[in-house]
């Protein structure tokens, strides 16, 4: 009822323990707290909070317009409703190294289990669009060092994302990944890898967990979880998938209202009221109310 009974510290410890097994962890992207509860109900390994999804939810493009407070608020809302670890997209850290430090501590206070900082120029662009730019290696390293130094819970996962593959090639991505690990990154997120061989190449170059981004309509082929596990990927995210599916359904529903005048033909596609109430655990709230308001008002 209400929020998770597992502390943020315990969630971070659990996340680290699962990562240490070397198995592939699957983290669908939650676009709100309710979808995070569904991800937990379906027994996934964790919840991902995408910067692109948060921007879209605010009616904005993913070009660095969201603020730290907006990301921290939504991340905290999601992290509080699930026992699963929450991994958050922290973009470029919202500024220079001191801003990165504040970002880490603010997101740590929001209850997340991990976050990733990328090496794009600020303001950033979606990782699967053309026209990206990255900072020099020294600036990228300073961001990660600032993040690692700022955390107060040693189990908070600091992941480094690099977008350099699309700009300077795979060799540059290998060099950048190794430098970021040396700077203290706990995990590496190589963005926009083209094929499985590229993931294998990054895997061979680093000795920390690696993340694969399976976002639809992007530059990466949509590999299966089995294929990714076979090349040594440790985390796979589906960042925008649930939002895209939900918005696709919303488009069809609005068109159906215009065409048919009601939504009777789409009832079978909807989450039933009973299933929604079950996901929200209405019964526990009713039981709680009954245990407190167990008296009769005198007449």
pLDDT per residue as tens digits for the range 113-168: 999 999 999 766 665 556 678 999 999 999 999 999 999 999 999 999 999 999 99
What predicted TM-score, i.e. pTM, was given to this entire model?
0.94
Question: Phi/psi of residue 190, each to 5°?
Answer: -85, 110
Do 135 and 199 have their domain in common?
A: yes
pLDDT digits 0-9 by tens, 254-268: 999 999 999 999 999
Do 236 and 263 have their domain in common?
A: no
Report the C-alpha gap between 101 and 280 in whole angstroms.
35
- Where in the sequence numbering do the catalytic residues fall? 48, 62, 89, 91, 116, 118, 126, 161, 191, 213
* Domain presence at residue 63: yes
Do 259 and 233 have their domain in common?
A: no
Do 80 and 136 have their domain in common?
A: yes
Do 173 and 272 have their domain in common?
A: no
Do 119 and 207 have their domain in common?
A: yes
pLDDT digits 0-9 by tens, 33-46: 999 999 999 999 99
The number of domains in the chain is 2
Last residue of a domain, one of 220, 240, 260: 240
* Domain presence at residue 297: no
Do 236 and 256 have their domain in common?
A: no
Q: Report pLDDT for 58.
A: 96
Do 207 and 257 have their domain in common?
A: no
Report the C-alpha gap between 130 and 59 in whole angstroms.
21
Do 182 and 282 have their domain in common?
A: no
User: Does residue 238 contact residue 218 with C-beta atoms inside 8 Å?
Assistant: no
Report the C-alpha gap between 61 and 80 in whole angstroms.
26
User: Does residue 185 contact residue 157 with C-beta atoms inside 8 Å?
Assistant: no
pLDDT digits 0-9 by tens, 52-106: 999 999 999 998 899 999 999 999 999 999 999 999 999 999 999 999 999 999 9
Q: Report pLDDT for 127.
A: 53
Do 159 and 257 have their domain in common?
A: no
Report the C-alpha gap between 164 and 171 in whole angstroms.
9
| Strand 114-118 versus strand 157-162 pairing type | parallel
**CA dist list (Å): 180 to 61, 83, 110, 186, 235:** 28, 30, 25, 9, 18
Domain that holds residue 119: 8-240
Do 186 and 42 have their domain in common?
A: yes
Do 279 and 147 have their domain in common?
A: no
């Amino acid at each position: 009822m209400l929020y998770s009974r597992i502390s943020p510290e315990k969630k971070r410890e659990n996340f680290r323990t699962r990562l240490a097994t070397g198995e592939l962890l699957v983290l669908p992207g939650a676009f709100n707290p309710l979808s995070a509860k569904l991800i937990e109900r379906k027994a996934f390994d964790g919840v991902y909070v995408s910067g692109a999804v948060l921007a879209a939810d605010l009616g904005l493009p993913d070009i660095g317009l969201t603020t730290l407070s907006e990301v921290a608020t939504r991340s905290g809302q999601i992290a509080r409703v699930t026992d699963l670890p929450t991994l958050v997209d922290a973009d470029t850290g919202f500024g220079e190294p001191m801003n990165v430090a504040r970002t880490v501590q603010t997101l740590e206070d929001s209850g997340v289990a991990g976050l990733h900082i990328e090496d794009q120029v600020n303001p950033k662009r979606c990782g699967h669009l053309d026209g990206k730019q990255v900072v020099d290696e020294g600036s990228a390293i300073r961001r990660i060092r600032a993040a690692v130094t700022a955390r107060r819970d040693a189990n908070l996962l600091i992941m480094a994302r690099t977008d350099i593959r699309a700009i300077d090639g795979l060799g540059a991505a290998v060099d950048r990944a190794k430098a970021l690990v040396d700077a203290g990154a706990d995990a590496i997120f190589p963005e926009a890898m083209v094929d499985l061989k590229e993931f294998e190449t990054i895997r061979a170059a680093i000795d920390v967990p690696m993340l694969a981004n399976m976002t639809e309509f992007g530059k990466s082929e949509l590999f299966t979880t089995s294929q990714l596990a076979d090349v040594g990927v440790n985390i796979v995210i589906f960042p925008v998938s649930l939002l895209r599916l939900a918005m696709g359904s919303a488009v069809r529903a609005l068109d159906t209202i215009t065409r048919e005048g009601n939504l009777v033909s789409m009832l079978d596609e909807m989450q039933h009221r009973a299933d929604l109430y079950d996901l929200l655990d209405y019964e526990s709230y009713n039981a709680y109310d009954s245990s407190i308001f167990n008296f009769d008002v005198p007449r």
